[in-house]
Amino acid sequence: MKLKKIAALLLAVLMVFALVACDGSTNETTKKPEGGNTPATTQGNQGGSELAGTYEIKVWCAEKMVDLTTNQIKAFNEKNTDGIVIKATVQNVSEGEAATQMITDVDAGGDLYCFADDQFARLVQAGALSKLGTQASEFVTTNNDAGAVKAATINGEIYAYPMTADNTYFMYYDKTVITDPTSMDKIIADCEAADKQLCFDVGNGWYLASYFFGAGCSSDWSTDKDGHWVVNDTFNSDEGLIAMKGMNKLMSSPKFDSKSNAAEFDNGAAVVVSGTWDSSTAKSILGDKMGVAALPKYTVDGKDYELGSFMGYKLVGVKPQSDAVKAAVLHKLAQFLTDKDAQIERFNTANWGPSNLEAMKSDAVQNDPVLAAVAAQAQRAVVQNVPDGWWNLAAALSAKAKETGDEAALKEALKTYNDGVELLKNLKPGLLFVGAWNGWNNAVVEDTYILTGDGDVLSLTLEVPESDYMGGRIVNNGKWESDKGQAQVTTGKELIKDLSPEENGDNNIVFVEPGTYKITINTTNNEITLEKVG
Amino acid sequence: MKRYTDMEYLRLSKGRKFLYKIAAFFCAIPRGLKNFFLGIVRAVVNFFQSIGREFADIFTTFVKGDWKTKLSYLVMGFGNIARGQILRGLLFLLFEAVFIVYMIVAGAKWMSMLPSLGKVGPHEVYNAVLDQYTTEYGDNSFKILLYGVLTIFFIIAFIYTWRVNIRQNKISEQIIKSGKPLKSGGDDLRSLVDDNFHRTLLALPMTGILIFTVMPIIFMILVAFTNYSGINDGYANNLFTWVGLDNFNTLLAWEGAGNVYSATFGEILSWTLIWAFFATFTNYFLGMFVAMMINKKGIRLKKLWRTILVLTIAIPQFISLLYVSKMFDKNGIVNGLLSDLGVIRQNIDFWGSTAHSALLPRVMVIVINIWIGIPYLMLIATGILMNIPADLYESAKIDGASGWKQFSKITLPYMLFITGPYLLTSFTGNMNNFNVIYLLTGGKPINAAASSAAGSAGYTDLLITWLFKITTGEGAKYYMASVIGILVFIVVAIISLVVYNLLPSIKNEEDFQ
Amino acid sequence: MNYYAIVNNTLEFIKENALIVGIIAAFCVVAITVGMWKVFQKAGKHPWMAVIPFARDYTLTEIGSTGLIGVLAYVILPILGIINLNGIRYFYDLNKGASKPIYAILFVLGTIFLAIALFFHVLSSIKLSNAFEKGTGFLIGLILLPPVFLLILGLDQSKYVRSVSTSLGLKASRAISNTLIHIVLVIMAIIWLVPFVCIVLQSFRTETKPDGTMITWIVPDVFPKKWGLDNYINLFKSDFVDWYLNTFIIAAVVALLQTFIVLCMSYTLSRFRFKLRKGLMQFMLILGMFPGMLTMIILYRVLKDLGLTEAHAVPGLILVYVASSGMGYYISKGFFDTIPKTLDEAARVDGATRAQVLFKIILPLAKPIVIYTVLTAFMAPWGDFVFARYIAFGDSSGMNAAVGLWKWLTQDMINLRYTMFCAGGVLVAIPVAVLFMCLQKYYVEGVTGGAVKG
């Protein structure tokens, strides 16, 4: 008995504590949920003294950059004319970790953080990136390389600032062995003649994509705001077959090796396909013999194709803020940290290739052979925009190309790849219309009505049967939001009953008469159009 | 099936005995299950009966009690104070006060929002003056769920305390009627270190467990019925709501979009069971074997061998396992050694899968687990072996039994008998053995059919590493992780209960020998 | 030493000298057959068994009373071994030198088989020579040159003696098995120690590439080319000191508090019989069946609300570890169960309260289990990286050693860092290992006492 009392008392203490704690949170519900639309006076430009003040922020960047970033922020404090003083705690958080941590808990994350572009889509989905205003978007588009801007854009809106553009691969080679670095066949022949290895890790999806891009295929996966895939994958095609044959030719050579690592130059390699991270290794081993070039052309059936590559970018993101002034300050700082001078500084300190167009043209960058190769390769590079599950599908392709050059088998492998892509795609079946007449069933795809379409506008033609309650709404598969129902219908309001929220708590679209209807939704603003077609 | 008496059993041939034992085992399973279910039914019936009794008791106490008791129904503790038990009375009163205040200020609000888990999510606001997009935050589904549940607990605690209050009044009345003195506050305090010392001792640990283990588990079970994920995180991005049994449907669906989950789940479940089985039993028998070897008379430097083996336990796993996994890497030391010896020309990818199977990584994982696990088992087995009376062995040797016979007739049954429960906990522990798998392979090689939406499960993933991947993976689907956690629990619970109930019957068979 | 070359060369040699090899082979076969014939005659077995390959080996082993197992080992295994080794060569050629795992597996298996076969050959030779009361010299000859000595055995005057134990003398057999076990133990010790030795070696590796950067993370060779203490020195200059201290503090505090709590729980559950005792134990059993991962998220949120994350992760971690530690009462309770209750009762008769019984009488007796609990509680936080990583991110002053070392293994810094990682690992391992060695006795007592009776 006493034990229970003690336990109960302790629970009481906990409750009191919870009471204290949650008192603070009750204040959060008192903000008005409307989007404020104050008339635009000076569009885009912030007045000087509005932003003045001292701000304490947390900045996350890679270990190499901690000192540099601290200095840059100090420089910002001195140089800015708005009276902004930033007190920054710069913490050493690697790019991958920053992304994961922001996704796990946005609130506890850094106000400014650096991340790699492959996490971009996930960060936007998790609400961890603050959208750029008009002026900031202009800053990004005018100053940076097109690929970098694309990497920071989703659905036409920019959510981050590009910082570097150098994560791609190209060819390091031994000048004394390789006579013609522009033709893959000649390179293979040279290596075989000199009995040296050709190291190109085509077993890895990241590298093998070069063959496919060279042949003209693409694999571009983007998610729109609602989380469904917009996929453009053309690997399963004749061009894809050409790429497979090219890979098979490469991998059948006895001098082919799959270790894409510049240390292999020590082990009897003459060619290593690798990236900027290996430049110092390659330089130290080969010295003057080192040659760097963009990837060569490969030949299949007499035609030449230039090998493409994936390109990775590093971006700087701003945590979403609820205070517009602080947001403005952070964006200003972010722009300062990613403008031409800052990027050149980074290049000078750590050899990070800039994404800023002017910086790329600067002498310092052009004179570095590695970065010149990067710039050359960048012409044919493609932003990496594939989901996690894609890599294994790709690896299976190269495993098959290694085994055989038989056309039928290669085609079979491409088809298997395509099936895998379809599977990956369909896991997010997008928007559905669920109605009372199908049991509100949105768990089984076959029983639901899928809205399809290109780009932002999706539509569906649907037969509404006669029943007591002809109500339904548009949802994402598995969710049950309340913002794609009656309130969103802009055209065709006369076709549905106008019910008050008390009667229609779930915001359903309740049709007046049975019949065939066409339902269209614009996914950018969630506006729904209804038409009766039968 | 025929049941033999002891005498008949002993007369059976060896083969017959074996068959009989197997048959007995299988017959015991339905019996065990039947007992299990009957047990549950009985427990439920008892529960409802006792609830009924409580209500009856409350009613009769009210009717029969004096005015002090009746007033205590409203003001807790009044009866105690009126009868001179100040300490107890004050405690009750304080509790009631706190409860009422809490419910008025916050509790009612949380409870009201519990069914919907928040209505107003975060919105983007455009500030044209500063050209900035800011976010306005609304309700916090997570907090609603958390505090709502805590409030429910609080209410339950209150009801229970109120009941205790009533009962105390009734008992006090009876004591006064019979003329004995009531316990005073001082008596209560003294009993805390004597009669009720167990309560004092248990108070702190149980509180900790309650808050830091029970509450999170209940919360996570509830999460399985919502769509709480990284995207619907309840505050910064989107609110989350109840979705009922949808998640279970998705996981166990055979058709449609949920197909990926169920196929992956089946595969991972079967590998988990296989892994747990092999990991437990290889370690067990090999550990026993090693212990016996070291224990043998005539082996010198016993302590040295044990110390060396035990080094694996002493060094933190994340270092040793990480390094071992790098040792077997495609460019690692083992491959280097093998190619230097000329045994292989091209490096073996120990952790990769071939077109046909992922057998090699799985075997590697089991083998390396032996490396980790034998020292534990060896220690335990050593202790037990030292306890087996030596004269058993002596008499066996005189009877002419060979080494193998001694082992299977004396050592093995004894060990099994004593460490039976340990084997069970070891089995379930291995099912949840996160460290070994995660550090050695990270769950790779990745299963191509299990896409990133389903956590990118791999061929060496256990249910628990899969759970971890889902938690930290694409979209951070916490709700899926909860569902899987619940299913893991169910599987483990079933296995434990069934085996536990079977153990006594097996034990009896052992006594024959 | 190229294995393939060895096999090839041997076969070449055989092919070239086919005639001589053939003659020797023929001689061996004849000698063995005749020798066995005679041996069987002497032993009273059917002599014509000598001609049939498997049967003769069976009879031979029957004489040496190793029975069916002898046949398996002595006959089948050598065959398998040779098939294996040839198989390796076959697959090697088939795959154009490419290696598949089966290749290495065959190699290992073949070696093992041959080793076992050799072992049994020795064993049955011993038994055979005992059966005919031959001396050690003969025994050695029999082992090394079976055909010749079998012949001698068959043709000379020795008589077949069916000794009381056709097994070796007790001392001899024990000596042999002990030697064998020692060999196995040595091999095991080597296998067990190899990874640690490697880690320690890696931690002394200071060689750099010509341009001053360190070599890569995955090294195909073990021995460092340049030795030095640079890694350890760098460790002390970096954040590692903070992390180490953090972990030490966590471990020490947790050790104390956890022992206290576990003792409370286990003593209570062992000694007191109160109404909810069984229910409580079953409840905690069920609670333990839930995977611990699940609770990470919510514990993180709770700690965040209390402000105990990131920079203040250390108290947060301590709180979480200690609070749930009551569930690990199982082994301690088992130990307390072995202390007879009569002690308690005697004390209570003398008028002691239950509290006094605990502190004055039971605790002194419980020293082994207390030390065991302290030991396990101390060891655990050093290795926890999953939960700690969830809670301590960003600010490096809140991290423990495991998280910090993990952080170093990021993609771009890994080549610089992995030797420091090994050095850090060694330093982390030292206190735990030392403590464990010293207190090994209590650990064993605790585990066996508790697990057994539980």
Of A533, A518, A385, the C-alpha closest to A457 is A518
d(CA B417, CA B408): 13
pLDDT band at A384 (very low <50, low <70, confident <90, very high): confident
3 state DSSP class of B47: helix
Same domain assignment for residues A420 and A278: yes
Residues 136-175 of B with CB under 8 A from C: 142, 146
| pLDDT for residue A380 | 77
Domain at C329, CATH number? 1.10.3720.10
Q: Is residue A15 part of a domain?
A: no
Between chains, do B132 and A446 touch, taking CB under 8 Å as contact?
Answer: no
| B258-477+507-512: CATH topology | MetI-like fold (1.10.3720)
Q: Is the pLDDT of residue A38 over 50?
A: no
| Run of H or E residues at B104 | none
Q: Is residue C439 part of a domain?
A: yes
Chain Cα centroid distance, residue C22:
46
Q: Is residue C220 part of a domain?
A: no
Between chains, do C300 and A283 touch, taking CB under 8 Å as contact?
Answer: no
Q: Which residue has the tokens 């009766």?
A: A532
Q: Tell me the per-residue pLDDT of A46-70, one tens digit each, with 9 for 90 and over.
A: 445 677 888 889 999 888 888 899 9
Q: By the CB < 8 Å criterion, does B61 face chain C? A: no
Between chains, do A285 and C209 touch, taking CB under 8 Å as contact?
Answer: yes
DSSP code for A111: S
Residues of chain A with Cβ-Cβ distance to C213 below 8 Å are 280-281, 284
Strand pairing class (A515-522; A527-532): antiparallel
DSSP code for C46: -
d(CA C63, CA C39): 10
| pLDDT for residue A114 | 92
Between the alpha carbon of residue A165 and those of residues A158, A161, A383, the distances in Å are 17, 12, 10
Residues of chain B with Cβ-Cβ distance to C285 below 8 Å are 496
d(CA C21, CA A223): 74
Same domain assignment for residues A445 and A525: yes
Q: How far is A125 from chain B (nearest CA, A)?
A: 6
Q: How far is B430 from chain C (nearest CA, A)?
A: 11
Residues of chain C with Cβ-Cβ distance to A285 below 8 Å are 209-210
Domain at A510, CATH number? 2.60.40
pLDDT band at A161 (very low <50, low <70, confident <90, very high): very high
Q: Is residue A88 part of a domain?
A: yes
Same domain assignment for residues A143 and A215: no
Between chains, do C449 and B383 touch, taking CB under 8 Å as contact?
Answer: yes
Contacts of A147 (CB under 8 A, 6+ apart): A165, A311, A313, A378, A381, A382, A383
Sheet of A290-293: strands edge to edge? Answer: A256-257, A197-199, A269-275, A169-174, A290-293
Residues 326-365 of B with CB under 8 A from C: 326-327, 329-333, 335-336, 338, 341-348, 350, 360
Q: By the CB < 8 Å criterion, does C103 face chain B? A: yes
3 state DSSP class of B156: helix
Residue from the list C300, C396, C410 with its beta carbon closest to the beta carbon of A96: C410
Q: Is residue C137 part of a domain?
A: yes
ipTM for the complex shown: 0.76
Where are the alpha helices (H) located in C164-276, listed in sequence order? Answer: 170-203, 230-237, 240-271
Q: At what angle do helices B259-295 and B359-387 cross, to 10 degrees?
A: 40
Same domain assignment for residues A301 and A194: yes
Residues of chain C with Cβ-Cβ distance to B430 below 8 Å are none
Of C411, C210, B285, the C-alpha closest to A94 is C411
Q: Which of B451, B459, B480 to probe the A interface (max A CBs under 10 A)?
A: B451
HSE-up (13 A, CA, CB side) for residue A62: 21
Same domain assignment for residues C163 and C269: no
pLDDT tens for chain B, 513 residues long, are: 566 666 766 666 767 777 777 777 777 777 767 777 887 888 888 888 888 888 888 788 777 777 777 777 777 777 777 777 777 788 888 888 888 888 888 878 888 888 877 777 777 777 777 777 887 777 777 888 888 888 888 888 888 888 888 888 888 888 888 877 777 767 777 766 666 777 777 888 888 888 888 888 888 888 888 888 776 777 767 777 787 777 777 777 654 444 567 777 878 888 888 999 999 988 888 888 888 888 777 777 777 777 787 777 777 788 788 888 878 877 677 777 777 766 666 667 777 765 556 777 888 889 889 888 888 787 777 767 766 767 777 777 777 666 666 677 777 777 777 677 777 778 888 888 888 888 888 776 766 555 555 666 778 888 888 888 887 766 677 888 888 888 888 888 888 777 776 665 444 544 433
Extract the tokens encoding B156: 């339950």
Chain Cα centroid distance, residue A374:
21
Same domain assignment for residues A458 and A473: yes
Same domain assignment for residues C139 and C244: no
Number of domains comprising chain A: 3
Q: Is the pLDDT of residue A336 over 80?
A: yes
Number of domains comprising chain C: 2
Q: By the CB < 8 Å criterion, does A388 face chain B? A: yes
Same domain assignment for residues A222 and A260: yes
Nearest CA in chain B to C354: B194
Between chains, do C293 and B212 touch, taking CB under 8 Å as contact?
Answer: no
Q: Is residue C221 part of a domain?
A: no
Same domain assignment for residues A184 and A91: no
Residues of chain A with Cβ-Cβ distance to B199 below 8 Å are 2-3, 6
Between chains, do B298 and C178 touch, taking CB under 8 Å as contact?
Answer: yes
From A426, A445, A479, give the residue that closes a domain: A426
Residue from the list A21, A60, A63 with its beta carbon closest to the beta carbon of C394: A60
Between chains, do B157 and A130 touch, taking CB under 8 Å as contact?
Answer: no
| pLDDT for residue C337 | 75
Contact A128, A316 (CB under 8 A): no
Q: Which chains touch B (3 or more CB pairs under 8 A)?
A: A, C
Domain at A90, CATH number? 3.40.190.10
Residue from the list B146, B319, B347 with its beta carbon closest to the beta carbon of C199: B319
DSSP string computed for B192-234: HTTTTHHHHHHHHHHHHHIIIIIHHHHHHHHHTTB--SSTT-S
d(CA A412, CA A424): 19
Residues 298-337 of A with CB under 8 A from B: 320-325, 327-328, 331
Residue from the list A125, A325, A423 with its beta carbon closest to the beta carbon of B231: A125
Contacts of C62 (CB under 8 A, 6+ apart): C45, C70
Of A277, A268, B347, B333, the C-alpha closest to C219 is B333
Q: How far is C382 from chain B (nearest CA, A)?
A: 7
Greater pLDDT, C34 or A388: C34
Extract the tokens encoding C127: 């038994």
Q: Is residue C404 part of a domain?
A: yes
Q: Which of C309, C412, C417, C420 to probe the A interface (max A CBs under 10 A)?
A: C412
Residues of chain C with Cβ-Cβ distance to B342 below 8 Å are 1-5
Q: How far is C7 from chain A (nearest CA, A)?
A: 24
Q: How far is B77 from chain C (nearest CA, A)?
A: 25
Contact B369, B353 (CB under 8 A): no
Q: At what angle do helices C136-144 and C101-131 cross, to 10 degrees?
A: 150
Extract the tokens encoding A255: 């001098």
Contact A266, A348 (CB under 8 A): no
Residues of chain C with Cβ-Cβ distance to B217 below 8 Å are 287, 290, 294-295
| pLDDT for residue A317 | 92
From C168, C194, C220, give the residue that closes a domain: C168
Extract the tokens encoding B127: 């500030």
Same domain assignment for residues C132 and C251: no
Q: Is residue A444 part of a domain?
A: yes
The residues of chain C scoring below 50 in pLDDT are 1, 65-67, 97-98, 164-167, 210-212, 451-454
Q: Is residue A375 part of a domain?
A: no
3 state DSSP class of B444: coil
d(CA C102, CA B360): 10
Which domain, by its residues, includes A387? 167-311+383-426
φ, ψ for residue A515, nearest 5 deg: 155, -170
φ, ψ for residue A480, nearest 5 deg: -155, 65
| pLDDT for residue C254 | 92
Same domain assignment for residues A239 and A279: yes
Same domain assignment for residues C388 and C252: yes
Residues of chain C with Cβ-Cβ distance to B379 below 8 Å are 443-444, 447-448
Q: Please count the residue pairs, one from chain B and one from chain C, whose beta carbons lie less than 8 angstroms apart.
A: 265
Between chains, do A104 and B476 touch, taking CB under 8 Å as contact?
Answer: yes
Q: By the CB < 8 Å criterion, does C382 face chain B? A: yes
Q: Which of A283-292, A424-433, B37-46, B502-511 has the lowest mean pLDDT?
A: B502-511
Residues 192-231 of C with CB under 8 A from B: 192-193, 195-196, 198-199, 217-222
Q: How far is A199 from chain C (nearest CA, A)?
A: 17
Q: By the CB < 8 Å criterion, does B243 face chain C? A: no
Extract the tokens encoding C248: 């030490």
User: Hey, where are the domains in chain B?
Assistant: 6-55, 65-244, 258-477+507-512
Residues of chain A with Cβ-Cβ distance to C209 below 8 Å are 280-281, 284-285
Same domain assignment for residues A91 and A135: yes
d(CA C204, CA C223): 9
Contact B364, B347 (CB under 8 A): no
Residues of chain A with Cβ-Cβ distance to C393 below 8 Å are 93, 97, 101
Q: Is residue A377 part of a domain?
A: no
Q: By the CB < 8 Å criterion, does B482 face chain C? A: yes
| pLDDT for residue A477 | 55
Between chains, do B216 and C222 touch, taking CB under 8 Å as contact?
Answer: no
Most confident of A261-265, A275-279, A289-293: A289-293
| pLDDT for residue C454 | 39
d(CA B337, CA A117): 39
Q: Which residue has the tokens 């008596």?
A: B187
Extract the tokens encoding C57: 């080996």
| pLDDT for residue A505 | 67
Contact B194, A2 (CB under 8 A): no
Please name the amino acid found at residue C65.
S
Between chains, do B212 and C100 touch, taking CB under 8 Å as contact?
Answer: no
Between chains, do A327 and B125 touch, taking CB under 8 Å as contact?
Answer: no
Q: Tell me the per-residue pLDDT of A122-148, one tens digit each, with 9 for 90 and over.
A: 788 778 888 888 888 898 989 888 778
Same domain assignment for residues A343 and A401: no
Mean pLDDT of A162-179: 85
| pLDDT for residue A113 | 92
Which domain, by its residues, includes C405? 232-453
